[in-house]
Amino acid sequence: MSTGWMLPDEVMNYIFTNVSKGSTILEFGSGQGSVNLSMQYNLISVEHNEEWIGLSSGEYIHAEIVENPISTRFGQKGWYDSEKLLNLPSFVDVIIIDGPPGDVGRIGILNHLELLPSFSICIVDDTDREEESLLLEKLMPVLDFKDQIEIMSSSRRGNGKLRKSTVLVRG
């Protein structure tokens, strides 16, 4: 069973069911869940905190958090250092947005969309939260996608709310 920090089991099951073994996954925000993903996929994890680097057998990119204008505008601390993301592959099968953690914020990804590889599926975790719901709202017009799937987790937050993740599938 996943802990509150890991991608929910329901999202893991979605990935294992819908993404072929050996596919490439680019994950923003790493943790224990990365260990499971790296057993079946070519996993690239972007992580700011050394404590969460090296757990999985995948590739890690250590990128510190730096300020950027969009994060600042939304009152968030920053996003990963874009200088560390210049050599990402041109295509990955899946992008998972599950970091940086909530106290840093994730909206800064909007400042660096040109660095992202093209992809088939994008999973935004924690979209039940106001900040990630806003991120999703801003990402949707710029990502050309065909299907949107909401995955509700059976696990609840401290406030009793059900966790939600959103999967955007390109045509």
Ligand X SMILES: C[S@@+](CC[C@H](N)C(=O)[O-])C[C@H]1O[C@@H](n2cnc3c(N)ncnc32)[C@H](O)[C@@H]1O
Where along the sequence are the contacts to ligand X (CB under 6 A)? Answer: 3, 5-7, 27, 29-34, 47, 49, 52, 98-101
Smallest distance from ligand X to CB 47, Å: 5
Q: What is d(CA 123, CA 110) in angstroms, rounded to the nearest whole number?
A: 15
Smallest distance from ligand X to CB 126, Å: 7
Nearer to ligand X, 106 or 168 (CB): 106
Smallest distance from ligand X to CB 141, Å: 25
Nearer to ligand X, 53 or 90 (CB): 53
Nearer to ligand X, 55 or 171 (CB): 55
Nearer to ligand X, 18 or 49 (CB): 49
Q: How many helices (H) does the chain have, and how many strands (E)?
A: 4, 9
* CB burial readout 97-121, b (16+ within 10 A) else e: bbbbbeebbbbbbbbeeeebeebbb
Q: Which residue has the tokens 């560390």?
A: 84
Smallest distance from ligand X to CB 35, Å: 8
Q: What is d(CA 54, CA 69) in angstroms, rounded to the nearest whole number?
A: 30
